[in-house]
């Protein structure tokens, strides 16, 4: 078991490099008065917009000590100040790794069609949606994280034997990590991602351009298969739902929040997807639907709003159907049932 664990490779959520646990570096966490902070040219190269100038020194894993305590403690002594640190860092980009990194299953989501500020706002609102009852209804709990973090971390729950609690934590961790895909960076290889989110607005008629043309070009340039297909889950999510809401009858499924009590709601999500697919065909034509069916075989349509005017939703700031696409991605990854 130990040999198998040592050989296991993990993926850095920042540079996508694969490495074993032993190859991961340690970073000294002593205060600079005790252990001098150092310039890290590699970190600066990979994170040019970062304002961090100096950080704790990096230390390689000492193999013999590492093997002895692989399943016990993850600490490593700094070779300069002897402080024991548990902070790990990627051996390639030197970005610090979150606590629990090696126990977490990461779902890397390539996000297309969203500005960085829009993506940050979406992630914040999605966290809020899950923090209400949604995560618990799906058998999960959401772990707190910074509003600036493009990550949503969950822990799976299991039915508890205690009569006081229906569910108890399992230390089985899953995390969405969102990456902007813009067609101009080295992170545009679709093979890097486990799932995709394509954001586009509810269009204003008459159409001035086909919003799917940029996606068609990106799929062609960023896939390596001969058929140019993306087999991984691909959520097509229309934002600004408020533009469509006023045109719908009161009984329409889109005008009520999706009910996830008891788990994933396949019936409602398929109904929502079918309706948004019909709108897509009406707005963008049969050729666009043909492209989606042929090149994105594992797709589903969604719609949401960060500002939809509903008193109940406005009171908790969770938006409208913001988490639906993410719940589907959890379902596709067999994290929820």
Fold type of domain 103-332 = Rossmann fold (3.40.50)
Quote the pLDDT of residue 100: 85
Quote the pLDDT of residue 312: 44
Q: Is the pLDDT of residue 310 over 60?
A: no
Percentage of the chain beyond pLDDT 70 is 84
Averaging pLDDT over each range in 102-116, 126-140, 289-303, which range is the top one? 289-303
41 CB-contact burial (10 Å; exposed 0-12 / middle 13-18 / buried 19+): exposed
Quick one: how far is CA 149 from the chain centroid?
10
Quote the pLDDT of residue 311: 42
- What's the token pair of residue 179? 């990456």
Quick one: how far is CA 230 from the chain centroid?
18
Give CA–CA dist 174/61, Å, rounded: 26
Residue range(s) occupied by CATH 3.40.50 in the chain:
103-332
| Strands 167-181 and 195-201, sheet pairing | unpaired
Quote the pLDDT of residue 163: 57
Window from 7-21, 143-157, 275-289 with minimum mean pLDDT: 143-157
Match 């970073």 to its residue by tokens. 27
Residue 181 CB neighbours (<10 A) = 23
Is residue 337 within 8 Å of residue 327, measured between CB atoms?
Answer: no
Provide the mean pLDDT of the chain. 85
Percentage of the chain beyond pLDDT 90 is 50
Q: What is the pTM assigned to this prediction?
A: 0.86
Q: 173 forms bridges with which residues in the sheet?
A: 104, 155
Give CA–CA dist 296/126, Å, rounded: 24
């Amino acid at each position: 078991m130990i040999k198998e664990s040592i050989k296991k490779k993990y993926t850095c959520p920042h540079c996508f490099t694969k490495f074993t646990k032993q190859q991961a570096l340690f970073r000294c966490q002593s205060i600079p008065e005790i252990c001098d902070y150092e310039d890290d040219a590699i970190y600066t190269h990979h994170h040019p917009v970062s304002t961090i100038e100096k950080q704790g020194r990096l230390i390689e894993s000492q193999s013999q000590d590492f093997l002895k305590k692989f399943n016990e403690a993850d600490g490593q002594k700094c070779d300069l100040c002897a402080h024991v640190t548990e902070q790990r860092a990627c051996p390639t980009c030197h970005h610090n790794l979150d606590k629990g990194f090696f126990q977490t299953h990461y779902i890397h989501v390539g996000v297309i069609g969203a500005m960085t500020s829009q993506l940050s706002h979406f992630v914040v609102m999605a966290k809020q949606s899950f923090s209400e009852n949604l995560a618990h209804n799906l058998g999960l709990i959401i772990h707190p994280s910074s509003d600036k973090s493009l990550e949503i971390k969950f822990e799976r729950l299991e039915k508890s034997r205690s009569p006081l609690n229906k569910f108890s934590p399992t230390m089985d961790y899953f995390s969405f990590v969102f990456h902007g895909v813009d067609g101009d960076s080295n992170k545009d290889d679709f093979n890097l991602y486990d799932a995709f989110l394509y954001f586009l607005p509810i269009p204003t008629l008459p159409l001035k351009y086909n919003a799917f043309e940029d996606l068609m070009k990106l799929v062609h340039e960023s896939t390596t298969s001969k058929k140019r297909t993306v087999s991984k889950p691909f959520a097509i999510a229309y934002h600004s739902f408020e533009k469509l809401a006023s045109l719908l009858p009161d009984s329409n499924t889109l005008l009520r929040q999706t009910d996830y009590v008891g788990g994933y709601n396949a019936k409602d999500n398929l109904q929502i997807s079918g309706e948004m697919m019909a709108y897509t065909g009406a707005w963008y034509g049969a050729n666009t639907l043909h492209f989606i069916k042929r090149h994105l075989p594992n797709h589903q349509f969604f719609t949401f709003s960060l500002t939809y005017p509903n008193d109940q939703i406005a009171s908790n700031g969770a938006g409208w159907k913001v988490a639906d696409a993410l719940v589907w991605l959890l379902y596709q990854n067999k994290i929820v049932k």
